[in-house]
Structure 1
Amino acid sequence: MKPIWIVDDDQSIRFVLEKALLRENLPTRSFTNPQEVLKALIDTPESEGPQILVSDIRMPGGSGLDLLEKVKERLPGLPVIIMTAFSDLDSAVSAFQGGAFEYLPKPFDLPKAVELIHRAVEESQREEVAEDRMGDAPEMLGQAPAMQDVFRAIGRLSQSQVTVLITGESGSGKELVARALHKHSPRASGPFVAINTAAIPKDLLESELFGHERGAFTGAQTMRRGRFEQADGGTLFLDEIGDMPFDLQTRLLRVLSDGNFYRVGGHSAVRANVRVIAATHQNLEQRVKEGGFREDLFHRLNVIRLRLPALRERREDVPMLTRLFMQQSAKQLGVEPKRISEGALKLLGLFDFPGNVRQLENVCHWLTVMAPAQVVEVKDLPPEVLASMGAQAAEAQAAAASEPLPAPAALKTVTPDAAPLSPMAPVVGELSATGPAASSWENNLRVEALQMLEAGRTDVWDVLSRRFETALIQAALGNTRGRRIEAAQKLGIGRNTITRKIQELNLE
């Protein structure tokens, strides 16, 4: 591991921190002023540079805030902890605006300072791993099995020019899939033209798609090429195809059949060599039954169908996407990228994201602007995320309160080191011998969590989450007599998710 760099003109501060970190097996390197640090950064290879930097603000050889600015120019991802004996608002604001990881006022409690340094080291190592995985940020990201299926389909279609219909909820990234299909197709050198058929008024959509001749209607001062002509030799992406007016569907069907069309007001056929990729969040089969969508057009578009999963079906991708969007938002705003704590990431992973990936991207932009510190904690998450978590807890408590509870005598006393429950045992059905009578299973959960926390356990989240998921999956499989797909549907998760969870929890 790379060393912790400490810069302070006070020899006693350096000595105390060095000894405390040495006891934690954390290597250190000390400096007395900012000039020494800047020279060392130039002379030291990046692979041997600092893991984190702990710096005083006011030193004879220069300002710690100036050092922070220069270090961030060279190593933007380096966590920097700023120390000062002058605990004023201006110093704190300046430190965070400069991209400091945390602000540590003197005199500080040594164990708390070491804990903060540990946290900075963990964040640094986690970010290094995340950056290695993301590399240069590929066009699409996803480790979830459902997304891997999409990637495989794109790969299989890479040498094809067949029409593709992409389905999925709004905000799930359908245009990204369309762009990937174009980029990896024989038409990659041609144009990619996108149009949202739901965003353009009906009276203008025909002209947008097929163009118009001069004088075709009031305001048509010149001849205009439509999207089909603009996409000649490439790909035309028709987003929200389910909202296309019925009469225009007929014209689209004719173009897909023979490649010929007429501009509005035109008399000569125009031919365009275009691959069409369509997308919709609607159920087109249902639209056909209702008479709102032509059946023959549906079959013409539905040659190959790709279903893009909602974000709640690929929750394991939330941490990776969050880190990427935080970096992108910071770059757009010209600020230092913020880090996000594991607790906040886990809570984001539990949120359903009705707006899918687009909503997650907006949340990351909000956090980049509104989160007060460089590390985003649970309390910093947007109100809609925190409110949703509170609403879910309230609903669960109301449901639990309506069910008969076991008699207190049937409840066991649990010690923090008790053996894990069997997969078929209740999630949290125990009470402390001295605790109050439970009014719901949430109270039992709180009691056991408190016992484990007071005992100094650091795996509380993982242990209780694992038992909770085990109980849910066992209950669903028992209800469906072992039928996984049906169990996943009843739980509201994807079949790939339940298969992965069964493997992770050793429930085979």
Structure 2
Amino acid sequence: MTNPVWIIDDDKAIRWVLEKALGRSGIAFDSFASADDALNALYDATPRAIISDIRMPGTDGLKFLSRVKAEHPQLPVIVMTAHSDLDSAVSAFQGGAFEYLPKPFDVDQAVALIERALAESVPSSDAGDDADALPVLLGQAPAMQDVFRAIGRLSQSSVTVLITGESGTGKERVAEALHRHSVRSTRPFIALNTAAIPKDLLESELFGHEKGAFTGALATRRGRFEEAEGGTLFLDEIGDMPIELQTRLLRVLSDGHFYRVGGHTPIKANVRVIAATHQHLEDRVRHGQFREDLFHRLNVIRLRLPPLRERREDIPLLARHFLAKSASNLGVETKRLSETAMEFVQAYPFAGNVRELENLCQWISVMAPGQTVEVSDLPPELRAPSIHEEPVAADTASAQPPRAQDWARGLADEVTRRLKAGEIGIIDDLTRRFEESCIRAGLSHTGGRKVEAAQLLGWGRNTLTRKMQELGMSGTERD
């Protein structure tokens, strides 16, 4: 009888780690240095589960996956890759992968995943075509990997999706990815920001109008629903949609047809709706600002995009991507952030999230003087501590200046806002942000010298190093 698990990776070290872990768990295995060797072995034996790398010499992991699923559709295949991009995840799921495991991975997590694959029977699925476009989403953080997996699992579905997240987190990019990797990908993707259209024009923008329907309607006009026929309609900032239009949208989602403004003939709507908002829709429902029945229609599948501060480990990956993109657009050589500058950027709060980071990289590509960018080369407003971080002299504490009062008042207001929103873990989050701000300001003041920054902040060198590691800001120490 064949061993139940096959390990396929051209990296001997990865094979060794998985072999040891499976051995400790009492799971029999065979190892292969290439997919071609495993395909040859499949003629004589069939494992119960396979864990395979994607990028290997010869037959790559995705082609191997396709071959395996064609002949053994029930065989679970876990794919591994160090290239944590959206297309790899989606291609793997479209090809019928059991799960997607980004490198580096936790060994215990990998073993648990293999054990689940052995215990479960996975139905086959048809392999989809690989997308030609470059990935628009990048991330190795667990939260982003969850988003990638969700997009992969939704690739063969037309179910309604609600995307939530702060401004600048990339909600439209996710909607585009959902469309691009769906069965509707050959049809239009139409995006509409409902908050950017005046209230009296939004109905016509969505549903179109007949000639003479209102003053200025000189000709019949198709709306966004008609433009998106057969494809996807992305409605951004859905929480700002007027209540009367919410009723019309609900009717389209419920009945599958609509009327143009001033029209009397129903028009069938074969459109997948993806909505997005930065607002808390449950709160708007409670306050009567958003229809509860529409909320439930939209909230079939919810994807939450994490703010950049929750995925700081992705900042170097994103920064390199945006710097390369900016350099390509400008026709110049790509600039790079020094280690100290990258640590500084990683510690920055980025209230504008990924969009703000992209803008920073564009600024660097145009304005930074050298190819290697130091902290002193970053925008002045980035390096200057905010008014909330400016120190107050001890001998003036009894007569607090307005800025110090604003600091305390702003903190109290933030806590009050979060309490009203029903948030928990407030102190932990605010403490983390406070420490990040202090470290960032200290490093800026000392030009990235950690020993000096630690002394100024009142910490020992080891304490600062430990704090930076806990906050995802670790790096080589500078005197």
Question: Do both proteins adopt the same fold according to a TM-score greater than 0.5, normalized to the shorter chain?
Answer: yes
1:130-141 aligned at under 5 Å gives the runs 137-141=134-138
Cα deviation for residue 469 of structure 1 reads: 4.8
Residue 276 of structure 1, aligned match among 273, 277, 293: 273
Q: More deviation in 235-244 or 215-224?
A: 215-224
Aligned to 1:188: 185
Which residue of structure 2 lines up, in the alignment, with residue 213 of structure 1? 210
Distance 1:133 1:381 in 2: 28
1:318, 1:275 → 2: CA distance?
32
Structural mapping, 1:331-410, within 5 Å:
331-388=328-385, 392=389, 394=391
Q: Answer yes or no: is the 8 Å Cα contact 2:336–2:371 preserved in 1.
A: yes
Aligned equivalents of 1:465, 1:234: Cα separation in 2: 52
SS of the aligned residue for 1:237 comes to: strand
Equivalent runs, 1:99-498 vs 2, <5 Å = 137-388=134-385, 392=389, 394=391, 449=451, 465-469=464-468
**Cα shift at 1:449:** 1.6
Give, in whole Å, the separation in 2 of the partners of 1:295 and 1:390. Answer: 41
Residue 191 of structure 2 contacts residue 233 of structure 2 at CA under 8 Å; is this kept in 1?
yes
SS of the residue corresponding to residue 292 of structure 1 reads coil
Shift of the 205–451 alpha-carbon distance from structure 1 to 2, 3 Å rule, reads closer
Whether the aligned pair in 1 keeps the contact of 2:187 and 2:228 (CA below 8 Å) is yes
For residues 47-102 of structure 1, give each alpha carbon's deviation from its aligned partner in whole angstroms, at most 9, with x where no partner exists: xxxxxxxxxxxxxxxxxxxxxxxxxxxxxxxxxxxxxxxxxxxxxxxxxxxxxxxx
SS at match of 1:306: strand
1:393: Cα distance to partner? 7.1
2:376 match: secondary structure: helix
For the 8 Å contact 1:351–1:388, the answer to whether it is kept is no
Counterpart CA distance in 2 for 1:164 and 1:343 is 40
CA distance 1:218–1:389, change in 2 (3 Å): closer
Q: 1:452 to 1:186 in 2, by over 3 A?
A: closer
Distance of aligned partners of 1:341 and 1:191 in 2 relative to their CA distance in 1, 3 Å threshold:
same
Query: For each residue in 1:116-174, what CA deviation from the matched residue of structure 2 results, as whole angstroms up to 9, or x when unmatched?
Result: xxxxxxxxxxxxxxx98889852210011111111111111111111000000000000
Q: Deviations over 1:400-426 (max 9, x none)?
A: x99xxxxxxxxxxxxxxxxxxxxxxxx
Cα 1:391/1:265, change in 2 over 3 Å: same
Q: CA deviation at 1:383?
A: 2.3
Q: Which amino acid aligns with 1:189?
A: T
What is the CA-CA distance between 1:258 and the residue it aligns to?
A: 1.2
Pairing of 1:45-64 with structure 2 (within 5 A):
none
| CA distance in 1: counterparts of 2:272 and 2:289, whole angstroms | 24
Q: 1:302 to 1:218 in 2, by over 3 A?
A: same
Amino acid paired to 1:468? K
Contact 2:162/2:303 (CA < 8 Å) preserved in 1?
yes
Alignment deviations for residues 441-470 of structure 1 (CA, whole Å, 9 cap, x no partner):
x89x999925999xxxxxxx9965442257
Distance apart, 1:324 and its partner CA: 1.1
What TM-score results when the alignment is normalised by the length of structure 1?
Answer: 0.53
Q: Does structure 1 retain, via aligned residues, the 8 Å contact 2:259–2:267?
A: yes
Closer, same or farther: CA 337–217 of 1 in aligned 2, 3 Å: same
How far is 1:336 from its partner? Answer: 2.3
Q: Are the structure 2 counterparts of residues 275 and 332 from structure 1 closer, same or farther at C-alpha, using a change threshold of 3 Å?
A: same
Aligned length: 297
**Equivalents in 1 of 2:169, 2:201: separation in Å?**
27
Paired with 2:252 and 2:321, the residues of 1 have a C-alpha distance of 40
- Residues 452/184 of structure 1: CA separation in 2 closer, same or farther (3 Å cut): closer
For 2:171, the aligned partner's letter is: K
In structure 2, how many angstroms separate the alpha carbons of the residues matched to 1:252 and 1:451? 56
- Residue 191 of structure 2 contacts residue 236 of structure 2 at CA under 8 Å; is this kept in 1? yes
> 1:302 offset after TM fit, Å?
0.4
- C-alpha distance in 2, partners of 1:342/1:389? 23
Residues 18-57 of structure 1 mapped to structure 2, 5 A cutoff: none
**1:165 aligned counterpart, secondary structure:** strand
Supply the AA of the counterpart residue of 2:236. Answer: D
Displacement of 1:181: 0.8
Report the CA distance between 1:215 and its aligned residue.
Answer: 1.2
TM-score (normalised: structure 2): 0.57
Deviation at 1:189, TM superposition (A): 1.3
- CA distance change for structure 1 residues 320 and 451 in 2, over 3 Å: closer, same or farther? closer
Counterpart residue identity of residue 449, structure 1: V
Q: Please report the RMSD computed on the Cα atoms of aligned residues, expressed in angstroms.
A: 3.5
Counterpart-to-counterpart distance in 2, 1:367 and 1:235? 35
CA–CA separation in structure 1 for the residues paired with 2:332 and 2:313: 27
Q: % of aligned pairs identical?
A: 65
**How far did residue 332 of structure 1 move?**
2.0
Bigger Rg over Cα: 1
Shift of 1:358: 0.5
Residue 183 to residue 235, structure 1, CA distance change in 2 (3 Å): same
| Local SS of the residue matching 1:236 | strand
Q: Which amino acid aligns with 2:164?
A: T
| Residues 336-371 of structure 1: CA deviation (Å, up to 9, x unaligned) | 222211111111100110000001111111111111
132-141 or 378-387, which deviates more: 132-141
CA distance in 1, matches of 2:180, 2:390: 44
- Matches of 2:464 and 2:278, distance apart in 1: 33
- Per the alignment, do residues 344 and 451 of structure 1 end up closer, same or farther by CA in structure 2, a change over 3 Å counting? closer
The one-letter code of the counterpart of 1:204 is L
Structure 2, gaps ≥5 residues long:
1-81, 88-132, 399-441
- What is the deviation of 1:372? 1.5
| SS, match of residue 278 in structure 1 | strand
State the shift of 1:384 in Å. 2.6
